[in-house]
Amino acid sequence: MTKPISSTNKPMPLPLALTLGEPAGIGLDITLTTWQRRTELGIPPFYLLADPRHLKSRAARMSLDVPIAPVEPAQAGAAFANALPVVDIGVTATADPGRPDASSAPAAIAAIRRAVADVFGGMASAVVTNPVAKNVLYRSGFAEPGHTEYLAKLAAEMTGATAMPVMMLWSPELAVVPVTIHLPLSEVPKRLTADLVVDTGRIVARDLNRRFGIAHPRLAVAGLNPHAGEEGALGEEDRAIVAPAIARLAAEGIDARGPLPADTMFHEAARKSYDAALCMYHDQALIPIKTLAFNHAVNVTLGLPFVRTSPDHGTAFDIAGSGRADPSSLIAALKLAARLIEK
C-alpha cells in the first residue's frame, strides 16, 4: 500500500534562539562557522540574538563570506538556508575580539533575556547560549552567579513559579551533575546537605526521563571524600549526608546508588552502569567529562520549564577573531537542544 504523501503545508519547527554570549569572545566566531556547515552537518535552524553590525564586522575580520539576514524570529526558519538569521537585540556592541568593553555585559544580558522571552512567546523552541565572561558581567553589577541562575530568575519572572536549575554536562561518553557548583572547595562541606542531594537527584531523574527519553534513569552518586569516606575514617559527610540522601531517593523509586569512590567511577566499564553521575563538587564532575569529551560536551540546564543548552567551554579571548575556534561544542549544543524538544 502506498503511503500518503506528506503535506507541503506542514508547519516548519520553531527555530532555536542562540545568544551571542560575550561579544569579545569566540561566540560569534563559532556561530559563523557553524552556519557555514549547516548542510554538511544537518544543523537545526537557529537565529542569533546579536547586534547585526557587530556580527558583520567580525565576519569581515575573519574573512568569512557569510550572508547575514536581519530578521524577526518568525522569518528565521525560512531565511536559515540562505543566510544567517540575526534578530537585533537593540544594544550596540562595540567590543573588539579579546577586549571586552562597556557594551559587553549589556549586550550579553539583553540577548539572554530576549531568548527566554522568545521561547515563552512561542517564537523559538529552545535557548542555546554562547559563552559569557562572568567577571565582565560582575563588573557591570550582574547579581547572579552565572547563566544557570539567571535563566532560573527569568523563568520565575515569566511564569511566577520558582525553579531549581541543575547543571548537567552531557556527552555521548558521560553525563555528570555537580551538586554544588561554583564554590571554593573549603565551602563545599558547609553547603552540602542531604536535601540538596535529594532535590538534585529528583530533577536529574525526572529530566532524564522527560527530556532524554530514558525510561528508568540510573544515577551513580559520588562520595565527597576519598574512598567515599572509608566508613568515617576519611570524613563523616558520606555517612551523615550522602548515604541518607541516596536512601531517600531509592525510597522514592529512583535508581540511585552510592556513595561511590569518585576515583573508580569514570572508567569505561563503570560508565556503562549508569546514565548520569551526581558529583559533590565542581571539579569532581567536570574533570572527567572534560578529559573524555573536551571538544563536544554540552552544558544542559535541567529543572527549567524550557530547554537550554550551551557549549561546554569559555570565551577564549586569546583566539577570538582568529578563525581558530573549534565549533564542535556549539554544534553539539544545537543538535542536543533540537533532540530534547522532540521529547
- Is-same-fold flag (9-165+304-343; 166-303)? yes
Report the CATH superfamily, name and number, of domain 9-165+304-343.
Isopropylmalate Dehydrogenase (3.40.718.10)
Largest CA distance in the chain: 70
Strand 255-260's sheet: what is its strand order? 68-70, 84-88, 46-50, 16-19, 127-129, 308-311, 298-302, 166-170, 175-178, 276-279, 218-222, 255-260
Ranges of each domain in the chain: 9-165+304-343, 166-303
CATH architecture of 166-303: 3-Layer(aba) Sandwich (3.40)
d(CA 100, CA 21): 11
Cell representation of residue 169: 554536562
> What is the spatial distance between Cα 45 and Cα 232, in angstroms, rounded to a whole number?
53
pLDDT per position in the chain (343 positions), as tens? 223 333 344 456 899 999 999 999 999 999 999 999 999 999 999 999 999 999 999 999 999 999 999 999 999 999 999 999 999 999 999 999 999 999 999 999 999 999 999 999 999 999 999 999 999 999 989 888 788 889 999 999 989 888 899 999 999 999 999 999 888 999 999 999 999 999 999 999 999 999 999 999 999 999 999 998 788 888 899 999 999 999 999 999 999 999 999 999 999 999 999 999 999 999 999 999 999 998 899 999 999 999 999 998 999 999 999 999 999 999 999 999 999 997 6
